[in-house]
Structure 1
Amino acid sequence: MAIDKSEMELEKRRLEETVDWLSEQVNLAAEKHEELEKKVAMLKKSSGGTYNEELALTQQVYEFANKNLQKYSEASHKPYFARIDFSEARRDKESYYIGKFGLNDSSEGEEKVIDWRAPIAELYYSGQQGKVSYKAPIGFVDGVLSLKRKFLIENEKLENAFDEGINDIILRSSSDETEDNALVDEFLKINLEQSIGSKLKDVVATIQKEQNEIIRASKNTVMIIQGSAGSGKTTVALHRLAYLMYKYSENLTTHEILVIAPNKLFLDYISDILPSLGVSGVKQSTFEDIACNILKYSGKIHTKDMKFSLVMEESNKEKVKFITTSSKFKGSMTYKSIMDRYLKYIENKDIQIEDIMVGEYILFTSNEIKRLYSKDLINFPLNKRKQEIKRYFNLKLKVIIPEVFEKIDYAYERSIQSAKRDIKDETSKRKKIIELYDKRDEEKKHFNANAKKAMDEYFKQWSQKSIIDLYFNLLMDEEVFTELTEGKIGTKLYDFIKSETIASISGSIIDSDDLAALLYLKLKVEGLDKFNFSHIVIDEAQDYSNFQLLMLKSIAVNDSFTIVGDIGQGIYYYKGIESWQKLISEVFKGQANYIPLTQSYRSTIEIINVANRVLQKQQNYITPARPVLRHGKEPDLISYSVEKEFVEKLDEIVKSVKISGKKSIAVIGKTFKECKYIKTQLKKYSENDWELIKNTDKNFQSERIIIPSYMTKGLEFDCSIVYNCDEESYGDNELDKKILYVVLTRALHMEYIFYKEKPSSLLE
């Protein structure tokens, strides 16, 4: 409920005081920043490029000052978003203002604003008025929460404020409730009704209780979040990162964190969140890019989006079946088992070896090498075993060489004694003895030189080929492949896989479906020592195979994961996750926390209701999204017969969107081919400019875009236009059900569904 006039005046004065104080801090920070900038420049000049301890220290202070300047500058526009009044047991009531950044007045010893990640701030997100407690570093703190107040602040001005009533805690928002009998969080509702920009933004002011529990969960755990479309799962995962960086700041650095997103378009979309929360330097990548980095591969990749586009547009149904079956096979744990058999096959070939010899002398027997390779060093990667054996033999060689020298000495000593005894002529005797000594020394010299050479040649011959060559060799060798797959892969499927492999080799390209197996071979043959992350976030996880996720697990130090996705949006159904429980069982051995998020904050009730019709037609569909109680216009079903008519109606929609104060509009075609056609028609007839999103590597800047269905995953727009949603485009099959569900859940406020002749039956 809105606060009364007198309270409003008090809060306005408090805000003015805070803004004035921040203005002073910005000026002081700017002066300090400028002073340090000049000092760094001077020290760089005087150091002449050599290491300078004073320069290194000054640069650290400069970076800290720069962060302070950025923090104060950003906070000055909106210093805080909430206030709580809390009385700790046997102490007076205190008011705490909560903001995106903690702000301390060191001169007064006063904490003006509490960081949203601070322990006491949890009372704002999860506490109910009355007796409460929160967990602090010293233990649980008990007390009474008497006020939760939320502020709408824009450009240093207090626009409105709301006090949360005792019962206004949980939104009852199932679709059959009316506005009269449901409790409405007005503060949340106002925030949700705002227009969005081209980037995902932080939501520290409106984090909900169920989201807060995920954000503040312990670091060393696997969190698997099944989030309905619009549930804020991506935002929650990134806010969790910011929280972990705050809580574990002493032993967790940004360089130890990895964010895996579906494509570069999505990475750009989420790129502003972490920096806006004061976290920079986190590695954000796609699975393809991190895999190539690990494999040290800089060539071309046939991405999953390229392959999906082929699946969507290929008219040969048999070829589509082979593509999808091959993808499913290569992403399965069965394929991982085949790689294990292949590694055993390689290992058995590796130990078909001989003694290491120099002349007649055995340096190391084949039995000793086999024992070390197959038993003593069994837990090491294959190549690491060889390196360890070579290192061990090099050390042992220092003992072996003197022993061989003794044998040589002994053999020549016998010949010398014979010469002394048998040769009577002193001159001939002396000559023979010198000759024997020279031969002995030459043999020692030869042995000493050739022992190291024999070792190097032996291990050079024993070394493995490249990981990529090893893998392709398997796929090209029908006899070995059939043996390792135990003949369970049909001839036609193998022929297709082999033809794909030949195309990859000739085109110098790697299929993204092969990356999991390549990483696994890399792990087992060479090791992944240099790739260790303390926490990994995986977004749109439903689109990865269990084998791919297993490989991401191999670069995590302690199974610390935040995995978010939505089975209902699993458009890569043929290779992605079928069930979270299967993932937990196969990859994480049952050790994971599964949390569903069903509340949808993105779209209006009317939009979600239409999308849920499609979701409920999916096989094994999960719980439908429950929209926050925010009503809007019913999605319009609009028929058209010719493209000019479509464009004219589209231009009218653009005008109405502008009038409403909203900005972003997306025309969503099913395939890229269809989007290119839409672009030509819009160029021909439309009054507006439209940007065609050609691939997921490109960032879009325009407020009006044309985008293929499969590229919209994770994105959101004020208004979405679904192009030609007829029975032919979106039929009664699992792929179309998932794609259409994705498409229908992109709009925040307005949705228009165009069709020719008859709309898809999936909408019924």
Structure 2
Amino acid sequence: MPGGPAVPAFPPADPSVTDTPTPVTDTADATDTADAAGPLARERAHLASSRAALRAMRADVEALDIKDVAANWVNAQVLRRQIDERITALADLAHTPLFFGRLDYLHAPGAERAEGAGGEQFYIGRRHVHDAAGDPMVIDWRAPVSQPFYRASKKEPMDVRLRRRFGYTGGELTAYEDEDLTDTTSDDRASRLLQSEIERPRVGPMRDIVATIQPEQDEIVRAGIGGTVCVQGAPGTGKTAVGLHRVAYLLYAHRERLARTGTLVIGPNRSFLRYIEQVLPALGELNVAQATVDDLVAHVEVRGTDDPVAARLKGDARMAEVLRRAVRSGVTMPVEPVIVVRGSRRWRVPAYEIEEMVRELLARDMRYGAAREALPQRIAHAVLVRMEEAGEAPDDRVQDAVARNAAVKAAVKAIWPAVDPAKLVLRLLSDAEFLAEHAAGVLDEDEQRAVLWAKPARGVKSAKWSSADAVLVDEASDLVARTPSLGHVVLDEAQDLSPMQYRAVGRRCTTGSATVLGDLAQGTTPWATTSWAEALAHLGKPDAAVEELTQGFRVPREVIAYASRLLPAIAPGLAEATSVRESAGDFSVREVAPEALDAAVLGACREALGREGSVGLIAADDRIPVLTGVLTAAGLPFLAPGEETSADSRLTLVPASLAKGLEYDYVVLDEPAAVVAAEPDTRTGLRRLYVALTRAVSGLAVVHARPLPEELG
């Protein structure tokens, strides 16, 4: 991927695969010379030709002359931007395989299956590549013809005769492996190349998984855009990658629609977004926005924090009703008629008639701002009726003029005053009487006291907004004016959202669909959801399909088995995850004396750095300053979460609160008891520990001086 070190896209394959490749009958334009050179040489030749064709495609776009095409400078700018994006999307990433598989069909897809008819051969890759004549050299992995690469089996070959996987080292094609799907005499066997790619050490940010998507993952990736999908995924099951590849697929299948409505990926924090930010560009998708929930609701400057009780109450869905009442509280019934003067005539609309209009608008439960805009038109319409009864013939222009009349505007201002969402929430959280008036029957007195801001200290002019307060402002803003909806939203680490945060995200996809990703066992906030049904109801997508991924591909089997000891305490209803990895991984639990803890952690980090791949040192947040000093004194360079690793700096110091969603080849976990104790309650602490234990891809070393939580024993 761009910006990272040169790493193999696939590791060197098994020698039995590389040195004695399975013979294959090429159904394309194979020549005697190519056959004599061997199948591997022929595949390398196709790779070289495909790269040349991709360069030619990019050169064609770069050569486009648009100076006399656009009608004006605005259109020219838009067209220029689209061309630049196309040029970027056609970049040939040297260390990313252009294609990773090949399908040999028994028959031409879509053609009548005549006896003796020859099939076709397709190379499957990250993007479409065609030659000068327009014939495909590489087929996009998202195309329908590519689907059997992920789903075909000997039981259901999907008209595929042979599936070939390729192995790469440093961008060079070095191996291949064939699977004859017509041979029903033998069982399906695990692909060695696929297994090697799954277990390959990772350096740098998250990468795509197009070469290793499994059938159950592919079903989620290719689910239609019309419905929302919720993925409950255990650690290492690839739920984040599945969500990102689903975005890429939807952009391929519904590009025009999503180009109009937009797509958004929502992550838990900036470190996580930096970690995943290269996946979609590597697939050629450049126009997908990324944000955190805090970014979405950034109506006010957040400088304060809430205690867990206040944060949980402010995130409670009941606050939506309190806000709805508060927003409407300014509406008052008229006591005076509205008199409109036009020329020599005076038109009178009595108070009772205006009251009927106000009550009808309130009953319709419209957005506050939309109803406020409708009221002057209703009053103006009443005036027009009187004009028509008097024999006049007013038109729409007259009605608009009456709606803008000073008397009408004054009446609307008094009856239906404008609402500033931030000022409304400020009053609600700082005025006990105002809160009590609108929270009656919703929040009890203790709960009302808990959500009220403490009085500012002397010399402090105002209280500080918290993240939960910002979500309340967003809710109030939507009650005043509808939030624009996107075409598709991906919400990752969704289990940590409060009901009010779900509502904030749901407002961004009211007319679109969503992909919700999470793991109930990894919920670490005081308001973490315990049920996807409840969460999806708050999101506004109660009919969403819930899919469960329990087969892990990244976390070693011994590590996931050890972490799963916590499941009965943190998520008793979830199935225990399994691992498809053949290797058990490196795993150790080391108990040391308290005075030797720092040295033991340092030693474990040095040991991990002696292997290939990234290393994450995960510790309770309050241990980070201590470990920073230890690493600095030892001259061991380290990075912050989300920063890109390199050959010279492969160690990342990770606060446990930021570990979610991240992965490292080797993890050193410092003092599990401290991770648990840092949370407000034991269950949340054990969930935080579960997250930390499952960040390892190849090995985990647990170093502790204090007793381990009894749930692990």
TM-score (structure 1 length as normaliser): 0.77
Q: 2:368 aligns with which of 382, 385, 393?
A: 382
Q: Counterparts of 1:67 and 1:689 in 2: how far apart (Å)?
A: 34
CA contact (8 A) 1:355 1:362 kept: no
Aligned-residue offset at 1:469: 1.4
Counting aligned pairs with the same residue, the percent is 23
Aligned-pair CA distance for 1:82: 0.9
Query: Does the CA contact (< 8 Å) of 1:130 and 1:146 recur in 2?
Result: no
Secondary structure (helix, strand or coil) at the match of 2:120 reads strand
Counterpart of 2:481, as a letter, is E
Q: How many residues align?
A: 657
Find the counterpart in structure 2 of residue 145 from structure 1: 160
Cα offset, 1:332, TM superposition: 2.4
Distance 2:605 2:663 in 1: 17
Distance 1:451 1:400 in 2: 17
Q: Which residue of 1 aligns with 2:23?
A: 7
Per the alignment, do residues 727 and 301 of structure 1 end up closer, same or farther by CA in structure 2, a change over 3 Å counting? Answer: closer
Is 1:649 equivalent to 2:583 in the alignment?
no
Pairing partner for 1:690 from 638, 641, 663: 638
1:198 to 186, 204, 219: 204
Among candidates 66, 80, 84, match of residue 63 of structure 1: 84
Kept in 1: contact 2:22–2:178 (CA 8 A): no
Alignment partners' CA distance in 2, 1:336 and 1:20: 59
Q: 1:709 aligns with which of 644, 647, 656?
A: 656
- Could you say which residue in structure 1 is the equivalent of 2:50? 22
C-alpha distance in 2, partners of 1:324/1:500? 15
How far does residue 203 in structure 1 lie from its aligned partner after superposition? 0.4
CA contact (8 A) 2:536 2:542 kept: yes
Contact 1:728 1:760 in 2 (8 A): no
Q: Deviations for 1:194-217, whole angstroms, at most 9, x for unmatched residues?
A: 221231100000000110000011
For the residues of structure 1 that align with 2:287 and 2:142, how far apart are their CA atoms? 19
Of residues 496, 516, 521 in structure 2, which corresponds to 1:563?
516
Q: Give the aligned partner of residue 593 of structure 1.
A: 545
Residue 691 of structure 2: which of 742, 746, 751 is its match?
742
Match of 1:100 among 126, 129, 134: 126
Deviations 1:514-563 (A, max 9, x none): 344333322222222xx111111100000112232133222314351100
The answer for the alignment partner of 2:153 in structure 1 is 128
Structure 1 residues 400 and 746, CA gap change in structure 2 (3 angstroms): same
Q: CA contact under 8 A between 1:381 and 1:525: conserved in structure 2?
A: yes
CA distance in 2, matches of 1:266, 1:168: 44
Q: Which residue of 1 aligns with 2:321?
A: 337
Asked whether the equivalents of residues 258 and 536 of structure 1 are also in contact (C-alpha less than 8 Å), the reply is yes
Structure 1 residues 206-217: aligned runs within 5 Å:
206-217=212-223
Structure 1 residue 491: Cα displacement: 3.7
Question: In proportion to residue count, which structure has more helix?
Answer: 1
- Structure 2 match to 1:369: 354
Relative to 1, partners in 2 of residues 1:688 and 1:353: Cα closer, same or farther, differing over 3 Å? farther
Residue of structure 1 in register with 2:617 after alignment = 667
Per the alignment, do residues 600 and 145 of structure 1 end up closer, same or farther by CA in structure 2, a change over 3 Å counting? same
SS of 1:564's equivalent?
strand
Does the aligned pair in 1 maintain the 2:310–2:451 contact within 8 Å? yes
Q: What SS does the aligned partner of 1:93 have?
A: coil
Gaps of 5+ in 1: 134-143, 173-181, 308-322, 407-447
Query: 1:244-643 residue pairs with structure 2 within 5 A?
Result: 244-253=250-259, 256-292=262-298, 297-300=299-302, 302=304, 323-343=307-327, 345-346=329-330, 349-357=331-339, 363-375=348-360, 378-393=364-379, 452-461=405-414, 462-486=416-440, 489-500=443-454, 506-507=461-462, 509-528=464-483, 531-572=484-525, 574-585=526-537, 587-588=539-540, 590-641=542-593
- Alpha-carbon contact 2:486-2:512 (below 8 Å) kept: no
Partner Cα distance (1:270, 1:460) in 2: 49
8 A contact 1:300–1:508 mirrored in 2: no
Q: Name the SS for the 1:164 alignment partner.
A: strand
CA distance in 1, matches of 2:180, 2:149: 13
Q: What letter is aligned with 2:660? A: K
User: Using a 3 Å threshold, how does the CA distance of structure 1 residues 647 and 627 change in structure 2: closer, same or farther?
Assistant: same
Going from structure 1 to structure 2, the CA distance change for 1:589 and 1:576 (only over 3 Å counts) comes to same
Distance in 1, matches of 2:354 and 2:644, equals 55
Please list the CA deviations of residues 407-432 of structure 1 after superposition, one character each: whole Å capped at 9, or x if unmatched: xxxxxxxxxxxxxxxxxxxxxxxxxx
The letter for the 1-side match of 2:145 is I
In structure 2, distance between residues paired with 1:114 and 1:355 = 71
Following TM superposition, by how much is the alpha carbon of 1:689 offset from its aligned partner in structure 2, in angstroms? 1.8
| Distance in structure 2 (CA, Å) of the matches to 1:500 and 1:262 | 28
Partner of 2:31: none
Q: Distance in 1 between matches of 2:290 and 2:265?
A: 5
CA distance in 1, matches of 2:74, 2:655: 54
For 2:588 and 2:530, locate their aligned partners in 1 and report how far apart those are by CA, in whole Å. 33
Q: Specify whether residues 21 and 485 from structure 1 end up closer, same or farther in structure 2 by C-alpha distance, changes over 3 A only.
A: same
Cα deviation code 1:275-308 (max 9, x no counterpart):
111111112111111122xxxx252354xxx66x
* CA–CA distance in structure 2, aligned partners of residues 516 and 241 of structure 1: 26
Give the greater-gyration-radius structure (CA): 1
Query: Following the alignment from structure 2 to structure 1, what is the Cα–Cα distance between the partners of residues 74 and 439?
Result: 60
Q: Secondary structure at the match of 2:672?
A: coil
Question: In the alignment, residue 623 of structure 1 is paired with which amino acid?
Answer: A
Distance in 2 of aligned mates of 1:727 and 1:760: 10
The residue type paired with residue 84 of structure 1 is L
Kept after mapping to 2: 8 A contact 1:223/1:561 = yes
Instruction: Specify whether residues 75 and 708 from structure 1 end up closer, same or farther in structure 2 by C-alpha distance, changes over 3 A only.
Output: closer
AA at the equivalent of 1:660 = R
| Gap regions ≥5 residues in structure 2 | 1-15, 25-36, 108-112, 393-400
SS of aligned partner of 2:685: helix
Conserved 8 A contact 1:553-1:559: no
Shift of 1:692: 5.0
TM-superposed deviation, 1:592: 1.3
Q: Which amino acid aligns with 1:11?
A: P
Contact conserved, 1:245 with 1:254, CA < 8 A, in 2? no
Tell me, yes or no, if structure 1 residue 162 matches structure 2 residue 183.
Answer: no
Shift of 1:18: 2.2
* Corresponding letter in the other structure for 2:608: V
Aligned CA-pair RMSD? 3.7
